[in-house]
Each structure stands twice: as structure tokens, then as C-alpha cells.
Amino acid sequence: MIRTEVDWQYRAERANDSSLSIVNGTYWPRGKMLGGSSAINGMMYVRGNQNDYDEWEQLGNAGWGWNDVLKYFIKSEDNQDPETVGSYGGKYHGVGGYLSVENYEGMNVFNEILKQATIEAGHKQLIDLNGEEHIGYGRVQFTAEGAVRCSTAKAFLNSIKNRKNLHIIKNAFVVSLHYESENVVRGVDMIVDNLYPLRAMASKEVILSAGAINTPQLLMLSGIGRRNDLTSLDIPVRSDLNVGGNLQDHVFVPLFFGIGKSITNITEIREEVLVRLLDFTIRNRDTFIYLNRIDDVMGFANTKNSRAMFPDVQFINMFIPKMDGDSVQYYAGMGYQKNVLDSIRKYIQDRDIAVVWIVAIDPKSRGRLQLKTSNPYDHPKIETGYFQNPDDLDVIREGIRIQQNLFNTEIFETFDTNLLRIDITECDVWEYNSDDFWECYIRHMSTAIYHPSGTVKMGPWNDPEAVVDSQLRVYGIDRLRVIDASIMPTVTSGNTNAPTIMIAEKGSDIVKNQYS
């Protein structure tokens, strides 16, 4: 995880009850390029579940229930796996859309071992993580086309870039909305190449799709936000709305397991990577390779009710082969302090490591985003709010217990697998493996999985937290709409890229229907 000019490089404020082993505040990368965060994310195609969208509708957002949004997931999809497309009678997936969705061809045997362990532990095996059932383990799909990432720019812009009614301006930094009168938006003001001011005018309306951080920041800079926050920065208030509130993210902790009997080695993996890169660059073969060790076996569970239909925890699996120092740099990029990194570095000297990210996917906690200054180039203040509601911590702790049971299965014992203890001095006062110990571990190791959402909440007019209505129009402002992950009333139960693409598909129909 290396900071580059194509990343906004945000950092959340340090908290006193979460992410305690992260030195300078939780790192929140966001894509600063065409395609946004879909151009730098983990590419996992996870929709969430029916309950997520039915809840949106129950909160007063007509037309956003599961039966309404499913067709928009299908519309954009070009799924390359016939088995997935045909599952459940073919009712959940599409072919021929702009977005390519594929299976990942793994490069090690760890995923097969993991799959056998889930069967042994009694977890249900899911045909399709985006189908009818949502508790269990299955193979996750990815937004890729052959050996190439399929970002939203590649999927939706490249295919229509020559249309006469589309004009793309790169290296343009939008600094404010431009108003025709008091509350009527007419366009946007921007700076191109950090030098040239430019104003773009809209014949009908302006649509903001800058994401869950940049969209609320731009709204607040333009006078749309909480009155007290704006007046303290001498920004004239045009609409007093809860912009930046309702911030949600999926907090997670990594759990590390050492594999005593090595199942691979770094030399084999590097040779495999080189062979496949050669196939792609020279022989022009499309073989999807995923170089950051994320495995395609993903799990979901409910920590409160084993018979529940919908999950509250997600398990993302990774693999670090012995002597692979590059993977340590990944966790260094997250900002973990030296003692944590030294622990990982020490362990990989003599064993393979399985890493499980345990994710609270139905968070009750809420954070907040505010302006620090009225300068559009200054990053906003991000308060994650992790564990504001203790239920989220309990979910992760129970998720740890589920993982311990999984790695105690016979197949993992065959490979001499054991839980690795990360050096966190503050947790040594607690009995190891007690609930108190794990609470301490969670508060230290918790970090962002980069799914910010909800900061421009969609809701009915009588919801005091709502910023946009179910047609995505900003309350109190004419000719302004928001279409991105910031409008989610509640974050979906899984990775947020696919739901955001669905929001865009539905949003485009909303706009077309209004003007047709």
C-alpha cells in the first residue's frame, strides 16, 4: 500500500478507543483518477444482501428495495462464469453489460485447504455469494477482464468515450458549486492542472459523484451542511442539512495464523507470477492473476444467531508465503507501529502465514466528517466513530472465536497451524485468549477496510439526518443531485464497489425518466 499521486491519501483522526496501534490515524485511501476507488480497490464483486436494500426502503426510500435494485445489478454485469450465471435459475446475474466480472485463478493450494476446513467445521458451502443464501463460505468474484482490472472507467467510459455528448476533463479540481441564484445550482467551478480556472455550466442539473468524502466536502464548501459547522468557517449557509454525518465504514481486525508445514514458498510464487506476466505481456494470454495474496474463499456468519438468514461478520482470507517481506510492507502502509510489524516480520522468517480479516459488516457505530478550513485543498476532518456502539466490537470478538474453531480443524492441524500472538504490550495485562484480551487486541489492531459511505444520507423529508430524497435530489437546493456511495442510508453488508455501481445505474434511470 504505497502512497501515490493517484490516491487522495486521507487519514482519519486518532481515536482513544480504536486503531490504537496505528501511529498517525487510520489510513483512508481514495482513488484520485478516472474510475475513482474502483481503480485501486481489491476488485471484489460483493452486492450485500436482500435485507440491506429492503431496509433502505423501510427507512422511507421508495423504489430502493431489493426487488427494485436487483435489475440494476444485472444490467451492468457481464459475468464470465456460466455456473454463476446459471445458478438459482439464472435470476441473479447478467451477461452483456459493460462491467466484466470473473473468477480468480488462485496461485497456491491454500484456498483448497481453507475450503476443506470450512466443510469440516460445518459451514454451509455457497454456490454464489450474490445469490439467495448469505451465510456460509464460497468463492468471491472480481471486477476484472482477462488479466486486467475492470474499473468503472474501463467499463463505462472507455466504451463510450467517442460520444459527442460526453466530454472528459482530466486533472480538474472542483472547488465549489456555482449558483444561478440563492439556491439554484447552475454549474461547477474548477481549477485545471493546478493553474487554470474553469467554469462548467449545466443545461439541466449538476450531478455530484465524488464519493463519500469528497462529495460532502464539496457540498459544505458550497454552503450545504450543518449551520453551526459552516458559520464557524464564515461559509454562507444555503441549506442546513446533516452533510458529513451518518458516516459509516466496515471496521476490521487482522488475525494471523502460522502454518508450520509450509504449503508453498516465495520462489515458486514469484516464478508463477513471472510466467503469467509473460503470458500476458508477450503471448497476449488473458489469465487473471491477483498479486496481493487475497484469496477467493470468503465467508459470512451471524455471530448472534446461527439460524439467521443474514450475516453481521465477513471473513476475507489472505496468504503470506514464508520470507515474503513485501507483504509486511502492506501492513506498514496501513500505518501499524513497529512492534506489530516486527512481529509479522519475525514469524514469516520460518513459516507461511494465513491472515484473516474479520469485518463487522452491519455496523451500528457512526462517525462524522467535517471541514477543517474553508480551503478546498485542505483535507476534511474524519472521525471514524469505530466502536461508538459496543455491538460492533462484540461482533468482531465473536468472529475471532469462529475463526479459531475453523483453524482448529483436522486439516489445519495436519499443517501444524497455530494462532500467532502479535506483540502488543498493553494487552499483556490480560489473560491470553480471554474476552478482555481480545477486546484489547481489537481496539489496538482495528482499522478501515475502505468502505466509507452514508455521509449524504438518502431519506424522507422528515428524517432529520437526510440530505437527499429517494430521487437523489439535495433538499433545499434546485438542480443538484448526488449519485455515489455517500447516499447509502446504511452501508451494505459487504464490499461497496458493486452497490455503488448499482446506485449509478439506478440514478441514471432516475435522471432520464425525469427529463423524458
Give the whole-number percent of the chain exceeding pLDDT 70.
Answer: 93
Give me 116's grid cell: 476443506
- Asked if 477 contacts 225 with a C-beta cutoff of 8 angstroms, the reply is no
State the first-to-last Cα distance of the chain, in angstroms, to the nearest integer.
45
Each residue's pLDDT tens digit, 43-77: 999 999 999 999 999 999 999 999 999 999 999 99
Band the pLDDT of 295: cuts 50, 70, 90: confident
Q: Is 225 in contact with 211 (CB distance < 8 Å)?
A: no
Flag whether pLDDT at 273 surpasses 70: no
- Residue 264's pLDDT is 62
Which three cell numbers mark 421?
Answer: 500472538
Mean pLDDT in residue range 408-433: 95
pLDDT of residue 131: 94
The answer on pLDDT for 283 being more than 80 is: no
Q: Is the pLDDT of residue 353 over 70?
A: yes
pLDDT value, residue 290:
47
CB atoms within 10 A of CB 103: 17
Largest Cα separation within the chain, whole Å, is 72
d(CA 472, CA 459): 9
Parallel, antiparallel, or unpaired for β 172-181 and 294-301? unpaired
Is the Cβ–Cβ distance between 114 and 297 less than 8 Å?
A: yes
Of 449 and 282, which is predicted with more confidence? 449
The answer to whether residue 93 is catalytic is: no
Give the confidence band of 325 by pLDDT, cuts at 50, 70, 90.
confident
How confident is residue 180, by pLDDT bands cut at 50, 70 and 90? very high
CA–CA gap between residue 40 and residue 30 (Å, rounded) = 8
- Helices and strands, number each (H, E), in the chain: 14, 24
Under 8 Å between Cβ of 48 and 362: no
- 27 DSSP β-pair partners: 11
- Considering 123, 134, 250, 451, which one is annotated as catalytic? 451
Express the helix, strand and coil content of the chain in percent, nearest 5 each: 30, 25, 45
CB atoms within 10 A of CB 438: 23
| Percent of the chain predicted with pLDDT > 90 | 84
> Per residue in 239-270, pLDDT tens?
999 999 999 999 999 999 999 887 765 445 45
Q: What is the pLDDT of residue 292?
A: 46
Q: Average pLDDT for residues 401-415, to the nearest whole number? A: 95
Banded pLDDT at 3 (limits 50, 70, 90): low
- Asked if residues 262 and 497 have their Cβ atoms less than 8 Å apart, the reply is no
CA distance 277 to 287: 9
Cβ atoms of residues 29 and 12 within 8 Å: no
Q: Comparing 265-274, 304-313, 366-375, which segment has the lowest mean pLDDT? A: 265-274
Q: Would the pLDDT of 291 be above 60? A: no
Distance from CA of residue 41 to its chain's centroid?
Answer: 7
pLDDT of residue 272: 52
The average confidence (pLDDT) of the chain is 92
Model pLDDT for residues 487-498, shown as the tens digit of each residue: 999 999 999 999
Cα–Cα distance for residue pair 502/162, rounded to 1 Å: 24
pLDDT in tens, 371-395: 999 999 999 999 999 999 999 999 9
Per DSSP, what are the bridge partners of residue 419? Answer: 257
Tens-place pLDDT, residues 89-119: 999 999 999 999 999 865 557 888 999 999 9
